[in-house]
Amino acid sequence: MRFPEGFVWGAATAAYQIEGAPDVDGRGPSIWDTFSHTPGRVVNGDTGDVAADHYRRYRDDVALMAEMGLPAYRFSVSWPRIQPGGKGPANQAGLDHYARLVDELLAKNITPVLTLYHWDLPQELEDSGGWGARDTAARFAEYAELVGARLGDRVPSWTTLNEPWCAAFLGYASGEHAPGKTDPALSLRAAHHLLLAHGLGTQALRGVLPSTAQLSITLNLAAVLPAATSPGATNAVRRIDGLANRLFLDPLLAGHYPVDVRQDTARLTDWSFVLPEDLPVISTPIDFLGINYYSPTLVDVGPGNDGPSPWPACENVVFVQPPGATTAMGWAIDAQGLRNVVHRVHEQYRPIPLMITENGAAFDDELGVDGVRDDERIAYLRDHLTVVREAISAGVDLRGYFVWSLLDNFEWAFGYEKRFGIVHVDYRTQKRVWKDSAHWYRQVIRTNGW
């Protein structure tokens, strides 16, 4: 198995999941500080206060990436480090940190791929309405401009938002993520304002970045399949595909919202938060689309669960556990889902280069005297990379792949219990130990395949 020359190999992390140091260098609180410190929100009461202590250990971590031969590193900037309250002038100490990180990466020939928003909204902005408020989109564009102006000369690839679906629907509908709201109508507004933030942020970045800069957004696209051959199941697929995929892909790549999603959710909202001038902003051209993929989604018609759901107005949809093996998250392992999503974008939207910006798996890794045997993770990565390679052969313009994650980290509502890293982190000592998958990945990078 050989990948095309120039295929980008990388690994990904996110600020709140690895950095720790919540009150260092003038950082303000984010919604994830508030949420994780609220009893009952995160397994074991875990918080990101220390995490993998990467804010202090970034030099060692970059050295580790260099040892792995990693050509690219996807990380996120913590907005409240740049603007502690989400507005106003930049906090220089915060910007300095990311400038040092970027310099360190470049010194080791690792390409920085920077995400501006991986869910850590400054708490003050949440207090004035969060993503439910239109103004938050304008604030995001100002933040993007501050970071772009400082790092634009050294960072070639930029991503505005990571997984706006999660930010909107886990954050404001099911409440599983910060800020923990359970208001389906609000979550649809939030989705729109996130997309608007992406558009305004892209325009702001274009104004300050060199013309060679590559701009993008990362979506967690779902491979939605019917659990039965019935009109009800087909309709359930349409409903979930609408909210998971088309609600984002259509405005970004085709300049309109899906009519059926607007109709399906009409009893919750009249969508008057969408102004006529917003769609041209949201569809501002980007240079590539980031796709995160973990597991397929199987649906049918039936009585859904009572209680908060991340799927507004989908009370008649049930989620069916696909047969077969799962990861420690309980997520079905099926690389065909990745094939489904990349072909879908390739075939149904305008031509756009794609990057897999996250893919990986949590397993119950055990640290032994000589490292971590994680054959299941290697198999997972190999299967998904095989699909990537096949898609490229079939003509899909797929440019790169980032493993989630470089390090074990704070897995949001699951805290430290779920380990996604190819490098093991002992949270007591902060010692990093390569899992077998890290050794394997180094070899894959070296030989551009296996």
| Catalytic residue ranges | 163, 358
> Candidates 162-170, 178-186, 237-245, 277-285 — which segment interacts with ligand FCB by CB under 6 A?
162-170
Q: Which is nearer to ligand FCB, 74 or 339 (CB)?
A: 74
Contact 75, 15 (CB under 8 A): yes
One-letter amino acid for residue 128 of the chain: S
Omega within 30 of 0 (cis) for the link into 216? no
Contact set for ligand FCB, span 244-283 (CB under 6 A): none
> Alpha-carbon distance 37 to 47, whole Å?
6
Binding mask 381-420 for ligand FCB (x = CB under 6 A): -----------------------x------xx-------x
Task: Indicate whether 220 belongs to the interface with ligand FCB (CB under 6 A).
Answer: yes
Q: Which is nearer to ligand FCB, 283 or 295 (CB)?
A: 295
- Which 8-state DSSP code applies to residue 29? P
Mask for 2-41, x = binds ligand FCB (CB under 6 A): ------------x--x------------------------
Three-state DSSP class for 340? helix
* Minimal distance, residue 55 CB to ligand FCB, in Å: 17
- Which residues have C-beta within 8 Å of that of residue 393, sequence separation ≥ 6? none
CB atoms within 10 A of CB 305: 9
- Asked if residues 182 and 189 have their Cβ atoms less than 8 Å apart, the reply is no
Q: Which of 36, 78, 160, 162 is in the footprint of ligand FCB by CB under 6 A?
A: 162
Cβ distance to ligand FCB smaller for residue 146 or 362: 362
Cβ-based nearer residue to ligand FCB, 138 or 329: 329
Q: Which stretch binds ligand FCB (CB under 6 A): 158-166, 320-328, 367-375, 376-384?
A: 158-166
CB nearer ligand FCB, residue 166 or residue 317: 166
Cα dihedral across residues 99, 101, 103, 105: positive or negative: negative
Asked whether the bond before 231 is cis by omega within 30 degrees of 0, the reply is: no
Least distance to ligand FCB from the beta carbon of 230, Å? Answer: 30
Residues 356 and 202: their CA atoms lie apart, in Å, by 20
Nearer residue to ligand FCB within complex by CB, 146 or 333: 333
Structure tokens belonging to residue 410: 């704070």
SS3 39: coil
d(CA 220, CA 161): 11
Q: Is residue 361 within 8 Å of 327, Cβ to Cβ?
A: yes
On the CB side of 154, CA atoms within 13 Å amount to: 16
* Least distance in angstroms from the C-beta of 386 to ligand FCB: 21
Block residue for tokens 């019917």: 226
Helix (H, G, I), strand (E, B) or coil at 226: strand
Residues 277-316 touching ligand FCB, rule: CB under 6 A, are 292
Establish if 358 lies at the interface with ligand FCB (CB under 6 A): yes
**Looking at beta carbons only, is 35 or 412 nearer to ligand FCB?**
412
- Choose, by CB under 6 A, the member of 53, 104, 163, 176 that binds ligand FCB: 163
Strand partners for 115: 76, 159
In the complex, minimum distance from the CB of residue 17 to ligand FCB, in angstroms, rounded to a whole number: 6
Q: Is 152:114 a contact under the CB 8 Å cutoff? A: no
Q: How many of the chain's residues bind ligand FCB (CB under 6 A)?
A: 12
> What mask of x and - would describe binding to ligand FCB in positions 166 to 205, judged by CB under 6 A?
x---------------------------------------
**Is residue 233 a contact point for ligand FCB (CB under 6 A)?**
no
Question: Where on the chain is the footprint of ligand FCB (CB under 6 A)?
Answer: 14, 17, 162-163, 166, 220, 292, 358, 404, 411-412, 420
